[in-house]
Amino acid sequence: MKAEGIEFRSNINAEPLGFMHGTDIYSFLSNLLSNAIEYLKTDENAERYIALDIVKSGEMVKIRQENAVSAPITVDRESGLPQTTKADRENHGFGVKSMTEVVSKYGGNILFDSKGGKFTVVALIPIP
Protein backbone atom coordinates (compact mmCIF):
# COMPACT_ATOMS: atom_id res chain seq x y z
CA MET A 1 0.00 0.00 0.00
CA LYS A 2 2.77 2.37 0.90
CA ALA A 3 4.45 1.87 -2.48
CA GLU A 4 1.17 2.81 -4.18
CA GLY A 5 0.58 5.86 -1.96
CA ILE A 6 -2.44 4.27 -0.30
CA GLU A 7 -3.18 5.25 3.30
CA PHE A 8 -4.13 2.33 5.55
CA ARG A 9 -6.58 3.15 8.33
CA SER A 10 -7.25 0.35 10.77
CA ASN A 11 -9.01 -0.67 13.95
CA ILE A 12 -8.08 -4.32 14.34
CA ASN A 13 -8.70 -6.67 17.23
CA ALA A 14 -7.65 -10.09 15.93
CA GLU A 15 -8.63 -11.93 19.12
CA PRO A 16 -12.22 -12.64 17.97
CA LEU A 17 -10.81 -14.45 14.93
CA GLY A 18 -9.20 -17.10 17.14
CA PHE A 19 -11.75 -19.77 16.25
CA MET A 20 -11.00 -19.51 12.52
CA HIS A 21 -8.35 -21.54 10.75
CA GLY A 22 -5.29 -19.46 9.86
CA THR A 23 -5.48 -20.25 6.15
CA ASP A 24 -9.10 -19.04 6.07
CA ILE A 25 -8.15 -15.74 7.73
CA TYR A 26 -5.24 -15.33 5.33
CA SER A 27 -7.36 -16.17 2.28
CA PHE A 28 -10.12 -13.77 3.28
CA LEU A 29 -7.92 -10.82 4.23
CA SER A 30 -5.46 -11.22 1.36
CA ASN A 31 -8.27 -11.29 -1.21
CA LEU A 32 -10.06 -8.40 0.50
CA LEU A 33 -7.02 -6.13 0.60
CA SER A 34 -5.59 -7.22 -2.76
CA ASN A 35 -8.84 -6.35 -4.50
CA ALA A 36 -8.93 -2.90 -2.88
CA ILE A 37 -5.28 -2.19 -3.69
CA GLU A 38 -5.67 -3.36 -7.28
CA TYR A 39 -8.73 -1.17 -7.75
CA LEU A 40 -7.08 1.94 -6.28
CA LYS A 41 -4.05 1.43 -8.52
CA THR A 42 -6.31 1.81 -11.56
CA ASP A 43 -8.66 4.56 -10.34
CA GLU A 44 -6.68 7.79 -10.42
CA ASN A 45 -9.72 9.84 -9.32
CA ALA A 46 -10.48 7.95 -6.08
CA GLU A 47 -9.14 9.04 -2.71
CA ARG A 48 -6.26 6.69 -1.92
CA TYR A 49 -7.16 4.95 1.33
CA ILE A 50 -8.25 1.59 2.65
CA ALA A 51 -9.98 1.34 6.01
CA LEU A 52 -10.16 -2.03 7.78
CA ASP A 53 -11.96 -2.73 11.03
CA ILE A 54 -12.03 -6.11 12.76
CA VAL A 55 -14.05 -5.97 15.96
CA LYS A 56 -16.19 -8.14 18.18
CA SER A 57 -19.83 -7.10 18.00
CA GLY A 58 -21.96 -9.05 20.45
CA GLU A 59 -21.44 -12.71 19.62
CA MET A 60 -20.15 -11.90 16.14
CA VAL A 61 -16.88 -10.85 14.62
CA LYS A 62 -17.37 -7.96 12.23
CA ILE A 63 -14.89 -7.36 9.44
CA ARG A 64 -15.50 -4.11 7.58
CA GLN A 65 -13.36 -2.81 4.74
CA GLU A 66 -13.89 0.42 2.86
CA ASN A 67 -12.15 2.17 0.01
CA ALA A 68 -13.05 5.13 -2.14
CA VAL A 69 -14.38 4.68 -5.66
CA SER A 70 -14.88 7.36 -8.28
CA ALA A 71 -17.68 5.40 -9.97
CA PRO A 72 -20.10 2.87 -8.48
CA ILE A 73 -19.14 -0.80 -8.61
CA THR A 74 -21.93 -2.96 -10.01
CA VAL A 75 -23.19 -5.53 -7.53
CA ASP A 76 -25.08 -8.42 -9.14
CA ARG A 77 -28.59 -8.47 -7.68
CA GLU A 78 -28.94 -12.23 -7.93
CA SER A 79 -25.62 -13.30 -6.41
CA GLY A 80 -24.96 -10.19 -4.28
CA LEU A 81 -21.38 -10.21 -5.52
CA PRO A 82 -19.59 -7.28 -7.13
CA GLN A 83 -18.87 -7.71 -10.80
CA THR A 84 -15.25 -7.64 -11.81
CA THR A 85 -14.05 -4.47 -13.50
CA LYS A 86 -11.65 -6.47 -15.65
CA ALA A 87 -12.39 -7.07 -19.33
CA ASP A 88 -11.78 -10.83 -18.99
CA ARG A 89 -14.69 -11.67 -16.67
CA GLU A 90 -14.33 -15.43 -17.23
CA ASN A 91 -10.94 -15.56 -15.49
CA HIS A 92 -11.51 -13.02 -12.71
CA GLY A 93 -13.74 -12.65 -9.67
CA PHE A 94 -12.44 -15.72 -7.85
CA GLY A 95 -11.15 -13.71 -4.89
CA VAL A 96 -14.63 -12.45 -4.07
CA LYS A 97 -16.03 -15.98 -4.37
CA SER A 98 -13.28 -17.25 -2.08
CA MET A 99 -14.10 -14.60 0.53
CA THR A 100 -17.77 -15.56 0.36
CA GLU A 101 -16.91 -19.24 0.82
CA VAL A 102 -14.78 -18.52 3.90
CA VAL A 103 -17.54 -16.50 5.55
CA SER A 104 -20.15 -19.12 4.65
CA LYS A 105 -17.96 -21.91 6.06
CA TYR A 106 -18.31 -20.31 9.51
CA GLY A 107 -22.04 -19.60 9.17
CA GLY A 108 -21.64 -15.90 8.48
CA ASN A 109 -22.85 -13.41 5.92
CA ILE A 110 -21.05 -10.96 3.68
CA LEU A 111 -22.38 -7.83 2.03
CA PHE A 112 -20.83 -5.78 -0.76
CA ASP A 113 -22.07 -2.24 -1.29
CA SER A 114 -21.11 0.68 -3.48
CA LYS A 115 -22.62 4.08 -2.88
CA GLY A 116 -21.65 7.57 -1.85
CA GLY A 117 -18.19 7.26 -3.41
CA LYS A 118 -17.31 4.28 -1.21
CA PHE A 119 -17.05 0.55 -1.79
CA THR A 120 -17.74 -1.36 1.42
CA VAL A 121 -17.45 -5.01 2.37
CA VAL A 122 -18.97 -6.13 5.65
CA ALA A 123 -18.64 -9.70 6.92
CA LEU A 124 -20.43 -10.86 10.06
CA ILE A 125 -19.33 -14.22 11.41
CA PRO A 126 -20.81 -15.84 14.53
CA ILE A 127 -18.29 -16.65 17.26
CA PRO A 128 -18.84 -20.22 18.48
Task: Determine the average pLDDT of the residues in 44-51.
Answer: 92
Task: Determine the average pLDDT of the residues in 23-38.
Answer: 95
Helices (runs of H) and strands (runs of E) counted in the chain? 2, 5
Q: What pLDDT is attached to residue 91?
A: 46
Please state, in angstroms and as integers, the Cα–Cα distance from residue 101 to each residue in 7, 34, 47, 52, 73, following that order.
Answer: 28, 17, 30, 20, 21
Checking if the pLDDT of 121 tops 50, the result is yes
Q: What pLDDT is attached to residue 70?
A: 86
Segments forming the whole domain that contains residue 85:
2-126
Q: What pLDDT is attached to residue 74?
A: 74
Looking at the structure of the chain, the number of domains it has is 1
Mean pLDDT of the chain: 88
pLDDT confidence tier of residue 41, bands split at 50, 70 and 90: very high
CATH number of the CATH domain containing 8: 3.30.565.10
Checking if the pLDDT of 11 tops 80, the result is yes
CB 3 within 8 A of CB 68: no
